Structure 1
Amino acid sequence: MTEFLKKEDKFTFAEAGEGKPIIVLHGLMGALSNFDTTFKYFSEKGYQVFILELPLYTLPLIKTNVKNLAKYLHEFINFKELKDFILLGNSLGGHVALYYTKLHPRNVSALVLTGSSGLYENSMGSNYPRRGDKEFVRTKTRAVFYNPEIATDELVDQVYDVINNRNSLIRTLAIAKSAVRHNMAKDLPKMNHPTCLIWGRQDTVTPPEVAEDFHKLLPNSDLYWIDKCGHAAMMEIPEKFNTILEEWLSKRNI
């Protein structure tokens, strides 16, 4: 994906393709590469795909929250002069997409949520974060996926580095607390946007009941399950994820 990375103004993002825009938003411990397969797939299917790097560790601490991440997204959208776009978010990225849609509903043509926060979620456990204990980090990172092999050494190192750096750790905890404060339950029934929910049946972070609640609260949603799949379907079973999304976009004529 490095060949598609760009830095313009204060934004770092990947961009490819032409057509209707899809803006992809990664999770709290996520990276742009989490959506590598989906990015390439839809940029070759008549969509202009962006993956925006969220400033999780660079905002002032007092502004490190869901609200200001949505504001940053809005600034990016204005900078790129985007309209009538699809927002696709995993975990925290889904929450940011929802909060943005609450504030700017007319800009969004559709939502795609996978393992999204915004209602409730499980943390890495009561002992999280345990700094300096790499095996603990490895165990918890593997638990995010149905197939533990997805948690490569590179991914474990990435999470380990985040929680062992004071700056990133403080901001990680601030965002996690912000996600709890910005619960979207009362807002979702007002969002009539076509919404595609793609969920791993074995998601332990935002378990299946979270998907069911999103489906009940969002008035114009469709829920799809991927079996033998955890919290990040677009990483774990990307082919199935892409097929579901492509068929949904076609069915909804988006």
Structure 2
Amino acid sequence: MKQSMILLHGLFGGLSNWEGVIQHFGSRYDIHIPSLPIYDQHNQDNLEYLVRFLEQYIEQHKLEKPVLIGNSLGGHVAILFTHRHPDKVSRLVLTGSSGLHENNIMGNYPKRGNYEYIRERVAYTFYDPAIATDALVDEVLQITRNRIKCLRIVQTAKSAQRNYVASILPEIPTPTLLIWGEEDRVSPPDVAHEFQQLLPDVQLVMLSACGHAPMMERPEQFNRILEEFLGK
């Protein structure tokens, strides 16, 4: 039976963010990429709602000790889940994770429908602005054109900023890998080093000329580092 791997996207992320990981590991792992229900209407704290969603997802799919890999907001969700259920996670991988400090790339309220603004903000995510393809910009643009989705994004970002994980990180025994871009302007390198100081069983790898989404911007390096970590 293949080991399960769960890939958790960020606030503006999507399933396509993980194409490189899927191509590299898909034949050997049972890969799951749940779409986080960021836009659902509910009465809970937004981040709490996402953690509960992950709990239900793992239970419904009967996944035993998956590898959890989270980018940005997805990393934050993975941290909270692993802290609550350390016995249900085999390895934890964080890349550009929120939870300690992050810069909100869209500001307090996104400029809805402003193409150039959205393009500039998406490009800000990467070291190489060429990674912000027309398709990627259009994907984010469509989200920001929806008033309800915009509101949910702002609410979720604020929920993540309120949920400071420094106090719980020392309580996570799970082997953890941090893959971080040296040019990450959303969750800067200092954040990665703080994660490294607070987690008990942790390895940090910094990637040069790389921004907030290493699995997209440096897929070959990302997969090689992840491969080594999972093989230990």
Do the structures match in fold with TM over 0.5?
yes
Cα offset, 1:92, TM superposition: 0.4
Would you say 1:236 and 2:196 are equivalent positions?
no
1:54 Cα deviation (Å)? 0.8
Q: Distance between the aligned counterparts of 2:216 and 2:44, measured in 1?
A: 29
Query: Is residue 47 of structure 1 aligned with residue 59 of structure 2?
Result: no
Would you say how many aligned residue pairs link Structure 1 and Structure 2?
Answer: 232
Matched, 1:19 2:19: no
Equivalent-residue separation in structure 1 for 2:107 and 2:157 (angstroms): 14
- Which residue type is aligned with residue 189 of structure 2? P
Residue type at the aligned position of 2:116: E
**Unpaired segments ≥5 residues, structure 2:** none
1:147-158 matched pairs, under 5 angstroms: 147-158=128-139
TM-score (normalizing by structure 1)? 0.88
Aligned with residue 75 of structure 1, among 50, 56, 66: 56
After superposition, the C-alpha distances for 1:107-151 in whole angstroms (9 at most, x for unaligned) are 011100000111110112546512232111111110110111110
Gapped regions of structure 1 (runs ≥ 5): 1-17
- Calculate the TM-score normalised by the size of structure 2: 0.96
CA RMSD of aligned residues (A): 1.3
Written as runs of structure 1 = structure 2, the 5 A alignment for 1:102-181 is: 102-124=83-105, 126=107, 128-181=109-162
For CA contacts below 8 A with separation 6 or more, give which structure has more relative contact order.
2
- CA change 1:177–1:127 in 2 (3 A) is closer
SS for the counterpart of 1:204 is coil
CA positional deviation for 1:204: 0.4
Q: Which of residues 29, 38, 60 is equivalent to 1:56? A: 38
Q: 2:93 aligns to what SS in structure 1?
A: strand
Q: Which moved more, 1:141-150 or 1:100-109?
A: 100-109
Runs of 4+ more than 4 Å apart: 125-128
Q: Which amino acid aligns with 1:24?
A: L
Q: Is 1:188 equivalent to 2:193 in the alignment? A: no
- Percent identity, aligned pairs only? 47
CA distance in 1, matches of 2:128, 2:21: 19
SS at match of 1:111: strand
Shift of 1:64: 5.8
Tell me, in whole angstroms, the C-alpha distance in 2 between the residues paired with 1:49 and 1:126.
33
Offset at residue 75 of structure 1 (A) = 0.6
Alpha-carbon distance in 2 for matches of 1:122, 1:203:
10
Amino acid at match of 2:8: L
What's the counterpart of residue 192 of structure 2? 211
Cα distance in structure 1, aligned partners of 2:143 and 2:77: 20
AA aligned to 2:38 is L
Question: 1:40 Cα deviation (Å)?
Answer: 2.0
More strand by share: 1
